[in-house]
Amino acid sequence: MNSADVLALKALLSTPQKIAIIPHKNPDGDAIGAALGLHHYLIKNGHTSVVISPNDYPEFLKWMPGTRNVMIFEKQNAQAKEFIASSTLIFTVDFNDLGRIGQMKEVLEETDTTFVMVDHHQSPANYASVMYSDTSMSSTCEMIFHMIKALGGVNDINSEIADCLYAGILTDTGSFKYAATTSETHRVVAALIDKGARSSEIHREIFDTNTPSRLHLLGCALNNLVILPEYSTAYITLSQEELDKHNFKKGDTEGFVNYGLTLAGIRMAVIFIENRDEGIVKISFRSEGDFSVNEFARSYFEGGGHTNAAGGKSTRSMEETVTYFRSLLEQHKSELNA
């Protein structure tokens, strides 16, 4: 975080503020962890703060301190709009374009409240007065730690803040295995453990609370795995019928896409998940090395993200989406096989 942004943020927070903290739609561990970690820090420093999520999030994240007070925009629409309208400051965390918050986009576009962005994705939009954007960071939660440190608030980090930030770093680094995990990431994690983060308990809460239905859905997904060795690519499909059959709940497919990358010789893994209610096929991309799924998703599937992790969508049918995807691979064959 550069010195000008630190000074600007210190000035904004120098008097008590009414603050809305907003993660992206379908928030993951990093988004919720960053939002709640920041929330606890702001409350401790005399501000009024509410986390407002565009929609609900998975049960395996609802152990986090403060989760019961998160406002869900889809369910508490009037209450959320009222709080946003009266806010004096809005933090957006783990996204950098208002298109990532669904129905909340119009509400935020209509407010003249000051925005602060904290995010680590590529190609940020220019809507925030203070923009802390760093694509080299492992996670937004790591950025929140650095932001708190820059504000002189390390001593304010208690076990609640530490738990939330640790959870976000854990999930967004793939348990510290992704390339964006640096020595500095480990130093931040060590500091959070020193502050009271319950590392082993958090791991169990996130990864060891599966239901039989989720494991059966994973079996279905792996049974649908298609390997295209000529393109160093593997993909999975899950239809709405398959999701319904296995009692799908939000978050059940988290991490499924990564199984493709566990195969020797695979550089890109993709999962296509049908969402009949929204009329789309949701797509997650992962890659190894320098093949940019961010560019791939942005170019073909109205998405984006990071070099090695991105998302997108298609309004075609599942069959048409997969056919279109496969038709694109030939022009990227040299990159995928580099």
- Give average pLDDT by consecutive 10-residue segment, the chain, 338 residues: 94 98 97 98 98 96 96 97 97 96 95 97 94 96 98 97 98 92 97 98 96 97 98 98 96 95 97 96 96 96 92 97 98 94
Distance between CA atoms of residues 151 and 319, nearest Å:
51
**Cα angle 85, 87, 92; round to 5:** 100
User: What one-character DSSP code corresponds to residue 130?
Assistant: E
Distance between CA atoms of residues 49 and 282, nearest Å:
32
Nearest CA to 298 among 312, 318, 288? 312
pLDDT at 338: 84
pLDDT at 27: 96
CA dist list (Å): 11 to 16, 112, 151: 11, 18, 10
CB 259 within 8 A of CB 209: no
pLDDT at 179: 87
Residue with tokens 């296509």: 272
Distance between CA atoms of residues 330 and 143, nearest Å:
38
Q: Which residues on adjacent β-strands are paired with residue 292?
A: none
Nearest CA to 101 among 20, 46, 175? 20
Using N-to-C axis directions, what is the helix angle for 199-207 and 159-172, rounded to 10°?
A: 50
What are 179's two structure tokens?
A: 């390339």
